[in-house]
Amino acid sequence: MRIVAENLEQAYESAGRRLVVLKDISFTVEPDEFVAIVGPSGSGKTTLLGLLAGLDRPSSGRVLLDGRDLGAMSEDERAAFRAANVGFVFQTFQLIPTLTALENVLVPLELKGNGRRADIDRARALLERVGLGERLDHYPAQLSGGEQQRVALARAFANEPAVLFADEPTGNLDAENGAAVADLLVELNRERRTTLVLVTHDPKLAARAGRVIRLEGGRIVSDSGPGVSRVGPQWSAEGAPAGGLAAGGTPPSDAGGAPEGGAA
């Protein structure tokens, strides 16, 4: 899914003061990209992801997903658009505690109406894909953090989203489980050809992205530029700027590309 952020600004009023959390945010993400958003705590990463995913509305500016202006939609239209097109993975898993692993993965499918049998088969196949085929009937409390996040990954891919947003998906996991979740996320993203926008503090995970955007104090301070992330014939790096693929969290010093990521 093509993501266009145009002059996004987000401000909150608190105690009579206006706190600007995001300012002058403009970039374009092409459908074949895997973008990492990095930056210190409080720099606005979660806020930005929420705007891109249509979970929140900006104070000003626009977000276009495949040309559709999220701001022009009603709350209900945005919810329906998200259900059909967007997957989200949270740092804190956000599974529904009263539902089993299988039922959690079924939640996004229930809006699609493919028929119960087909949905159950699909949810089971996804849980098998993330290595939880034996845990279908377990509740979140019976699963480790790594297992819960793998259920959340299966849930995020259940509706075959065109774009997946992940907010520090490994942030609450130890190194070993974090690495397993990161591997699965990157593999599923490749298999399903999903656009991936990921917030992370993990330099190793950011280094796997084709492009790194760094926020500080609510502004973009560097953007390694459009980069093609996937390997394989359709996704050759041909035409991608050198900095795009080499970026490992450190921006290229010449900041070669246009800051707005204006790929023609």
Report the interface residues with ligand ADP, using CB under 6 A: 12, 14, 19, 21, 39, 41-47
Nearer to Mg ion, 46 or 224 (CB): 46
Contacted entry of Mg ion, ligand ADP, none for residue 47, CB cut-off 5 to 8 Å set by kind: ligand ADP
Q: Compute the least distance from the CB of residue 36 to ligand ADP, in Å.
A: 13
Measured CA to CA, the distance from residue 63 to residue 260 in angstroms comes to 14
Nearer to ligand ADP, 11 or 237 (CB): 11
Nearer to ligand ADP, 105 or 173 (CB): 173
Q: Compute the least distance from the CB of residue 136 to ligand ADP, in Å.
A: 33
Measured CA to CA, the distance from residue 180 to residue 42 in angstroms comes to 27
Contacted entry of Mg ion, ligand ADP, none for residue 44, CB cut-off 5 to 8 Å set by kind: ligand ADP
Q: How many CA atoms lie within 13 A of 235 on its CB side?
A: 19
Nearer to ligand ADP, 66 or 216 (CB): 216
Residue 223, beta-bridge partner list: 213
Contacted entry of ligand ADP, Mg ion, none for residue 189, CB cut-off 5 to 8 Å set by kind: none
Per the CB < 8 A criterion, the answer to whether 142 and 115 are in contact is no
Strand ranges inside 39-159, DSSP E:
60-65, 68-69, 86-89
User: Which is it for strands 68-69 and 60-65: parallel, antiparallel or unpaired?
Assistant: antiparallel
Contacted entry of ligand ADP, Mg ion, none for residue 203, CB cut-off 5 to 8 Å set by kind: none
Nearest to 95 by CA among 153, 55, 178: 153
Contacted entry of Mg ion, ligand ADP, none for residue 72, CB cut-off 5 to 8 Å set by kind: none
For Mg ion, the binding residues in 37-66 under the rule CB under 5 A are: 45-46
For Mg ion, the binding residues in 211-240 under the rule CB under 5 A are: none
DSSP letters spanning 192-253: HT-EEEEE-S-HHHHTTSSEEEEEETTEEEEE--------SGGG--TT--HHHHH-SSS--T
Nearer to ligand ADP, 39 or 87 (CB): 39
Q: Compute the least distance from the CB of residue 116 to ligand ADP, in Å.
A: 38
Q: How many CA atoms lie within 13 A of 203 on its CB side?
A: 5
Measured CA to CA, the distance from residue 143 to residue 155 in angstroms comes to 15
Per the CB < 8 A criterion, the answer to whether 148 and 93 are in contact is yes
Nearer to ligand ADP, 12 or 128 (CB): 12
Q: Compute the least distance from the CB of residue 228 to ligand ADP, in Å.
A: 26
Nearer to ligand ADP, 44 or 225 (CB): 44
Contacted entry of ligand ADP, Mg ion, none for residue 21, CB cut-off 5 to 8 Å set by kind: ligand ADP
Residues that bind Mg ion in the complex, under the rule CB under 5 A: 45-46
